Amino acid sequence: MKKTYILAIDQGTTSSRAMLFDHDGGIAGTAQREFAQIFPQPGWVEHNPRDIVTSVLSTMTEAISNAQVDPSRIAGIGITNQRETAVVWDRHTGQPIHNAIVWQSRQSAAICDRLKAEGHEDTVREKTGLLIDPYFSGTKVRWILDHVEGAQARAEAGELLFGTIDTWLIWNLTGGKVHVTDVTNASRTLMYDIHAREWDDELLRMLNVPRAMLPDVKSSSEVYGSTEGRHFFGKEVPIAGIAGDQQAALFGQACFEEGMAKNTYGTGCFMLMNTGGKAVRSANGLLTTIAWSVDGKVDYALEGSIFVAGSVVQWLRDGLRMFGKASDSQAYAERAKDSGGVYVVPAFVGLGAPYWKSDVRGAVFGLSRGSTKEQFIRAALESMAYQTRDVLEAMQADAGIKLKELRADGGAIANDFMAQFQADILDVTLLRPKVQETTAQGAAYLAGLAVGFWKDKQEIAGLRVVDREFRPAMAEARREALYEGWKQAVGATMAFKPRTTL
């Protein structure tokens, strides 16, 4: 019998990737394409939704041709996506009415302030597991409807559709026939009740978003529709898996049991812990979110969302021009024996979990005349590890357990220095998988389960291979002293409130 494959589309914040997975969970072909980041004002981030579709279509084609696989041998497609990013488009023309507003963007901060002043915080927390912050899709949709002339009336007349990136891609891949999302993406919108598992009228009223704009919410593993006719693959291929990228990584890392956790070091950094069938409410600034719905069973997760992680390295590379390639950061950091007391707090778009301060901005502390470029780069890499410790402490307190191991993935985990420093600062063993593309792998697994490519979660758990373990090796006194410095740096960053940013 001819070998078959699952195609995973991983539509991330800075790039789109397509990957072909074989039956062993290995990558048979891959392609990646970056696309433009649009920064209309400080703290705002947008994408052109057309660029996103184009980058996905071209990487799909390239991955298949790199693997030299006949498209007829693709058994199904899984989609995973940067979450929360909101697109609004015209149902008839398929044209977006505004750029996509990206999850990192703070442009709906004033709307959030108003919702808080109106006293909606408890309802939002209770129903969605989230909090009122520009991070989530709902206030981004409100912003678009407020700022595009005539949009509210068109939305009320049923002419406009809303989608997160999964929804937008499926709409385009199916030729405008299918308007769906999955529970994981719905759980990031601020409009979805994660307990009742339905769009919520009270939340829709709060945001004044017409229900007619919203996609149908499905499980994370089922056939939602097929690619348009012969257009893309010469045959219709079922789209059979959807999950937000952080949930997909949790699935790809096979964190199927309660208490298992993963951390993904991409543009931002996202730690998720599986809490099984229980939606655990955080008392420490974490989010409660849906991990996935598979085979009729919904699992929940606790999440710590850090807005700036790997993108601090991009800032060193592109903004400060300190080196040419992100991977060069490792050699620089290793040349410094320590950071010399320097702390970088990369709050470029505010601070996420567990602080949730959208109005603070980044800061650097502890500079001396002897501070070096190597120390500065090292301190920037260390900031990923310190932010993760903030989140881990909150998660352990909420879940009432001490984590023994953390499964790690994402682009920045390739940095051995950062990975070891992370294990040291957490006092937890970090496991780096052989296939570091666990996000795409998770989407492939979800699609593969739906089309019978893999049998069950047990079979998938058996495919996981660890590449390297990073064991904690730092003395406790040093670890705690370094972390105490970080806490002071974050405190001082939050206290800095200039009256003008000019």
Ligand X SMILES: Nc1ncnc2c1ncn2[C@@H]1O[C@H](COP(=O)(O)OP(=O)(O)O)[C@@H](O)[C@H]1O
- Residues forming contacts to ligand X in the complex (CB under 6 A) are 12-15, 266-267, 310-311, 313-314, 326-327, 329-330, 410-412, 414-415
327 interface partner picked from ligand X, ligand G3P, none, CB below 5 to 8 A per type:
ligand X
- Which residue's CB is nearer to ligand X, number 15 or number 54? 15
Q: In angstroms, give the least distance from the CB of 133 to ligand G3P.
A: 11
- Which residue's CB is nearer to ligand X, number 106 or number 127? 106
- Which residue's CB is nearer to ligand X, number 237 or number 312? 312
Q: Is 83 annotated as a binding residue?
A: yes
Q: In angstroms, give the least distance from the CB of 481 to ligand X.
A: 25
Q: In angstroms, give the least distance from the CB of 470 to ligand X.
A: 14
84 interface partner picked from ligand X, ligand G3P, none, CB below 5 to 8 A per type:
ligand G3P
Determine the Cα–Cα distance for residues 129 and 290; give it in Å rounded to an integer. 9
- Which residue's CB is nearer to ligand G3P, number 82 or number 167? 82
Which backbone phi and psi does 233 adopt, to 5 degrees?
-120, 5
Q: Is 318 annotated as a binding residue?
A: no
Q: In angstroms, give the least distance from the CB of 83 to ligand G3P.
A: 4
Determine the Cα–Cα distance for residues 407 and 253; give it in Å rounded to an integer. 7
Does residue 292 contact residue 221 with C-beta atoms inside 8 Å?
yes
What is the token pair recorded at 409? 């993935």
Judged by CB under 6 A, the chain residues 62 through 121 that form the site for ligand G3P are: 82-84, 103
Q: Is 84 annotated as a binding residue?
A: yes
Burial of 434 (0-12, 13-18, 19+ CB in 10 A): exposed
29 interface partner picked from ligand G3P, ligand X, none, CB below 5 to 8 A per type:
none
Determine the Cα–Cα distance for residues 407 and 276; give it in Å rounded to an integer. 17
Judged by CB under 6 A, the chain residues 223 through 282 that form the site for ligand G3P are: 244-246, 266-268
Q: Is 17 annotated as a binding residue?
A: yes
103 interface partner picked from ligand G3P, ligand X, none, CB below 5 to 8 A per type:
ligand G3P
Q: In angstroms, give the least distance from the CB of 311 to ligand X.
A: 5
Does residue 60 contact residue 70 with C-beta atoms inside 8 Å?
no
- Sign, CA dihedral 285-288-292-294, equals positive
The widest CA-to-CA distance across the chain, in whole angstroms, is 69
Q: Is 119 annotated as a binding residue?
A: no
326 interface partner picked from ligand G3P, ligand X, none, CB below 5 to 8 A per type:
ligand X
Residue 316 DSSP class: I
246 interface partner picked from ligand G3P, ligand X, none, CB below 5 to 8 A per type:
ligand G3P
Q: Is the peptide bond before 354 cis (omega within 30 degrees of 0)?
A: yes
At 188 the three-state DSSP class reads coil
311 interface partner picked from ligand X, ligand G3P, none, CB below 5 to 8 A per type:
ligand X
Q: Is 500 annotated as a binding residue?
A: no
Q: Is 65 annotated as a binding residue?
A: no
- Which residue's CB is nearer to ligand X, number 76 or number 411? 411
Q: Please give the C-alpha separations between residue 140 and each of 103, 246, 288, in angstroms, as whole numbers.
A: 9, 20, 20
Q: In angstroms, give the least distance from the CB of 413 to ligand X.
A: 8
Q: How do 192-193 and 87-90 pair as beta strands?
A: unpaired
414 interface partner picked from ligand X, ligand G3P, none, CB below 5 to 8 A per type:
ligand X
Does residue 188 contact residue 164 with C-beta atoms inside 8 Å?
yes
219 scored as a contact of ligand G3P (CB under 6 A): no
At 471 the three-state DSSP class reads coil
Does residue 155 contact residue 145 with C-beta atoms inside 8 Å?
yes
Q: How many CB atoms lie within 10 A of CB 16?
A: 27
Q: For ligand G3P, how many residues bind (rule: CB under 6 A)? A: 12
- Which residue's CB is nearer to ligand X, number 55 or number 219? 55
Burial of 363 (0-12, 13-18, 19+ CB in 10 A): middle
Contact residue for ligand G3P among 13, 164, 227, 289 (CB under 6 A): 13
First to last CA, the chain: 66
Q: How many CB atoms lie within 10 A of CB 397?
A: 14
Binding site for ligand G3P (CB under 6 A): 12-13, 82-84, 103, 244-246, 266-268
Binding-site residues for ATP, in ranges, read 13-15, 267, 310, 314, 411
Binding-site residues, in ranges, read 13-15, 17, 83-84, 135, 245-246, 267, 310, 314, 411, 415
